Amino acid sequence: MTNTVGFIGLGVMGRPMAKNLLKAGFPLVVHSRSQGPVDELVAAGAARAASPADVARRATRIITMVPDSPDVERVLEGPDGVFGALQPGTILVDTSTIAPVTAQRLAERAATLGARMLDAPVSGGEIGAINGTLSIMVGGDAAAFAEVKPILDAMGNPERVVLIGESGAGQICKVCNQMAIGGALAVVSELFALARKAGVDPVKVRQALLGGFAASRVLEVHGERMLTGNYKPGFRTALYAKDFRIVSSTLAAYHSPAPVSAVVQQLVEATMAAGRADDDYASLGTVLFALAGLSSGPDGV
């Protein structure tokens, strides 16, 4: 049925996104490598699919949310993949963060099969996915975007579900998003380190900065993580490191210099080397605290 939505990839982000589609009243058919989340969604009212191809047989609006470019390629082009059972007129929406060139290639392949594909990476982390307040950056056909916008609105903030441009533009926007977050993470870490070394309370520094022009979501959310030492993952460092590899390759492809982002990538890799791959990516702050000769704990000693 045309209003049935297929959802492939029920991880940290995908599971709450799919739940929000159910809450909005969309009939849902789901598939994921791990059966636990599938069981949870089925208990909530979704239908179970045996494979990505099975999803494609049962839905003409299909969302994917998986970790990386090879994962999207496997779901779409692999054995029992979506492309092997695609119905004409299907609209594919990949909400994963992948390389822009991969997004463009897959969209071209989908077009040869009579389908349209949008790249629609998201920002907002697990909290945004749970609350249905994600920002969704979309690249691809404007008519396809208009058709699936009610679906996207159910998972994100409708005012921040934005068609950026042609195929691949959504992923370019996500690259820009990760660059902006990385720069802010690094500077927030540095200013907390300075406050602590100067004997000034970083909690009060953050409080003051949030009331002025230096306020940002990074200072608000990740700044609090750094001050409390709470690095329970909303978005794992390992995934942010993957995203920054995409940042690096995309910058190289367009010969766009980004010396600040190059330093941030090294800080992200240092965070990985410190054994924090499964911590929240705000744990980047611990690397800069260590460089300043400070502990990474909330007590500031």
In tens, the pLDDT along 19-63 reads: 999 999 999 999 999 999 999 999 999 999 999 999 999 999 999
Strand 122-123 relative to strand 134-139, pairing: antiparallel
| Fold match flag (5-167 vs 172-291) | no
Say what the pLDDT of residue 1 is. Answer: 40
Q: Which CATH number fits domain 172-291: 1.10.10.520, 1.10.1040.10, 2.40.30.10, 1.10.3720.10?
A: 1.10.1040.10
Say what the pLDDT of residue 298 is. Answer: 54
Distance (Å, rounded) from C-alpha 264 to C-alpha 148? 35
pLDDT digits (tens, 9 = 90+) for 191-201: 999 999 999 99
232 is catalytic: no
Average pLDDT estimate for 89-99:
98
Of 149, 174, 197, 204, catalytic:
174
CATH superfamily of 5-167: NAD(P)-binding Rossmann-like Domain (3.40.50.720)
pLDDT digits (tens, 9 = 90+) for 215-235: 999 999 999 999 999 999 989
The domain spans of the chain are 5-167, 172-291
Say what the pLDDT of residue 85 is. Answer: 97
Say what the pLDDT of residue 3 is. Answer: 84
Q: What mean pLDDT, rounded, does the chain reach?
A: 96
Average pLDDT estimate for 111-133:
96
- pLDDT at residue 184 tops 70: yes
pTM: 0.93
